[in-house]
Structure 1
Amino acid sequence: MTTVFTHMTMSLDGFIADPDDRIDHIFDWFDAGDVPVSTANPDISMRVDVASADLLRHLTGRAGALVSGRRLFDITDGWGDNHPVGAPVVVVTHRPPDDPGRWPRTTFVGDVAESIARAREIAGDKDVTIASASIAQQALRLGLVDEVAVSLTPVLLGAGIPYFASLGTLVLLEDPLVVEGRRAVHLRYPVRR
């Protein structure tokens, strides 16, 4: 069965990037161990601890589609049409790029509900990962998220791009699955229905 989840690395004070979109301090855990974790993108690899490697392999191994916002897509230049999880990407945007053929594995969709539906179709019986904070917030408000995952890092950024600050509604979560890693504590919360 397909699970729609959001997973982000977050500072202890709730930010997924600093005000200039830099992520280096909160992504230290991706190079804090001895276990290599390869990705579908040969330009991106990680070396994490055993517990973090098991979690990453679980989250990425079931990924059938990834949903992103246009802002993240632009920052990453569409991951060169090869996102590290190896799944096709659905980008939520009201302004598709002029040259969408440059990204044959990417679908551009106009709203969040439609993007989740399209990602579920693409994923088949695999999972859908939401990789943008604003898209995750909108999907949570719409009741489209089954699980919230956070890799919480020992960093206080003081300001930046928040993961949940603009949620604007109450969302209840079940007790977490907790995985203690090096430079990150990984929390997975099923959404209470």
Structure 2
Amino acid sequence: MTKVYTHMTMSLDGFIADPTDQPAELFDWYGAGDVTVPSANDHVSFNVDPTSAELLREFTTNTGALIAGRRLFDIANGWGDSHPVGAPVVVVTHQPPSDTTPWPRTTFVNGVEPAITRAKQIANGKDICIASADIARQALQLGLVDEVCVSLVPVIFGEGIPYLAGLPGAHHLLQDPVVLQGHRALHLRYQVRH
């Protein structure tokens, strides 16, 4: 059964990037070990500890579609149409690019719920990863997320782009975490209570 999850690397104080959209030290764990985990992007590979390698292999093997917001898509320049997770990308945007030719593996959709519906079609039974904080918040608010994953890094930013701050409405309850201790990151996986 298809699972919708969100995964972010986050500072101890809840930020996924500094105020200028740079991850700074957050991504250091991707190069802090001896185990090489190749990605689907020829320009990206990970050198992590064995526990983190297991997590990354699961994500790259089981993810059939990735959902991103337009802002992240633009910052990453569409990952050169080859996101490291290896799955096609669905971008949530009100204004798709006028020329989508450079991104044949990318679909542009207006709205979070339609994006998840389209991602499920593309994923063909595999999992769906939401890779943008704003989209993750909206999907949580709509009750469309099954699991929240956080790779918690030992750094404090003080300010920046928050992961889950600002969710409106009632509290969102999660199950107790599955905890995986990596080097330079503590990986936390929370099932969402529906």
Aligned residues: 193
Q: Report how far residue 24 of structure 1 moved.
A: 2.5
Structure 1: segments with no counterpart, 5+ residues: none
Q: Does 1:65 align with 2:65?
A: yes
Q: Deviations over 1:48-103 (max 9, x none)?
A: 00000001111221010000000000000000000000100000000000111210
Query: Take 1:154 and 1:177, find their aligned partners in 2: how far apart are those partners?
Result: 18
Q: Percent identity?
A: 64
Query: Take 2:167 and 2:57, find their aligned partners in 1: how far apart are those partners?
Result: 29
- 2:179 match: 178
Query: Take 2:167 and 2:107, find their aligned partners in 1: how far apart are those partners?
Result: 25
Query: Take 1:44 and 1:168, find their aligned partners in 2: how far apart are those partners?
Result: 36
Query: Take 1:100 and 1:115, find their aligned partners in 2: how far apart are those partners?
Result: 17
Q: Deviations over 1:145-182 (max 9, x none)?
A: 00000000000001000001121232100011100000
What RMSD in Å do the two structures reach over aligned CA positions? Answer: 0.6
Is the 8 Å Cα contact of residues 9 and 150 (structure 2) preserved in structure 1?
yes
Q: Does 1:167 align with 2:167?
A: yes
Query: Take 1:6 and 1:178, find their aligned partners in 2: how far apart are those partners?
Result: 16
TM-score relative to the length of structure 2: 0.98
Larger mean Cα displacement after TM superposition, 75-84 or 161-170: 161-170
Query: Take 2:24 and 2:160, find their aligned partners in 1: how far apart are those partners?
Result: 13
Is the 8 Å Cα contact of residues 18 and 24 (structure 2) preserved in structure 1?
no
- 1:99 match: 99
- 2:149 match: 149
Query: Take 1:20 and 1:174, find their aligned partners in 2: how far apart are those partners?
Result: 33
Structure 2: segments with no counterpart, 5+ residues: none
Structure 1 stretches of 4+ moved >2 Å:
none
Query: Take 1:101 and 1:93, find their aligned partners in 2: how far apart are those partners?
Result: 17
- 2:44 match: 44
SS in 2 for 1:84: coil
Q: Does 1:191 align with 2:192?
A: yes
Q: Deviations over 1:95-132 (max 9, x none)?
A: 00011121000000000000000001100110000000
- 2:116 match: 116
Query: Take 1:147 and 1:59, find their aligned partners in 2: how far apart are those partners?
Result: 13
Residue identity in the other structure for 1:106: T
TM-score relative to the length of structure 1: 0.99
Query: Take 1:20 and 1:168, find their aligned partners in 2: how far apart are those partners?
Result: 25
Larger mean Cα displacement after TM superposition, 182-191 or 52-61: 52-61
